[in-house]
A and B are shown apart, each in its own frame.
Chain A
Amino acid sequence: DAKTTQPTSMDCAEGRAANLPCNHSTISGNEYVYWYRQIHSQGPQYIIHGLKNNETNEMASLIITEDRKSSTLILPHATLRDTAVYYCIVRKYNFGNEKLTFGTGTRLTIIP
């Protein structure tokens, strides 16, 4: 699976949009981009995933560049409960290979 690079930490003011970047320059054509987050001392929570097109769900939006070498997770109106570590993961989508490789992620702190 392709490696990802994320900033170690970010701050965002409450109520503003939080934009979390991820670089995955070695991504291959059959690899998806997944985002998870982990609130302190809890299990990670799935947020969103995508292949080529931008995706949106009730939690966030995922913007993937046209060359697919980077992506941005957008939390449109950040709240204090969004303070967490956010993991960007790239993996193949094929049966029998469900492994997720977690890096150290981005520690997002929402400032009141």
Chain B
Amino acid sequence: DGGITQSPKYLFRKEGQNVTLSCEQNLNHDAMYWYRQDPGQGLRLIYYSQIVNDFQKGDIAEGYSVSREKKESFPLTVTSAQKNPTAFYLCASSTPAGTGRSEQYFGPGTRLTVT
């Protein structure tokens, strides 16, 4: 089945530790995104990547880092510099605009709890 996978679904970490969230897609999409969602809030964009080996900061990139070494993968690292890392993290992918359909497809999310 084509889609986006995120693992794990639930993740627990101690404060001060870096943690990497996985996002893999087999939709052959060029663009990938990371969003953060806090309870009762909408999604906020952390980072996005239009092509391999290139990525851009979103609205709330501080305390996060990403890499895009392969088209299929866009891992997000939540560093110890992120002051409030506990949140629901969503990964998405899309074809580039201009191809006719550019809606974003979302993964199931990873719920990160830092104590």
Interface, chain A (partner B; CB < 8 A): 34, 41-46, 49, 87, 93-105
Contact = CB atoms under 8 A, between A and B. Distances in A.
19 contacts: A34-B103, A41-B109, A43-B4, A43-B92, A43-B107, A44-B43, A46-B104, A46-B105, A49-B103, A95-B97, A98-B96, A98-B97, A98-B104, A99-B45, A102-B35, A102-B43, A104-B40, A104-B41, A105-B42
Interface string B82-106: 0000001010101011100011111
Contacts, number: 60
10 tightest Cβ-Cβ pairs between the two chains A and B: A43-B106, A102-B42, A46-B103, A102-B43, A95-B97, A44-B106, A103-B42, A95-B98, A104-B42, A43-B90
Contacts of A97: 97
B97 A93 contact: yes
B58 interface: yes
A98 B48 contact: yes
A98 B94 contact: yes
Contacts of B109: 41-43
A49 B97 CA distance: 13
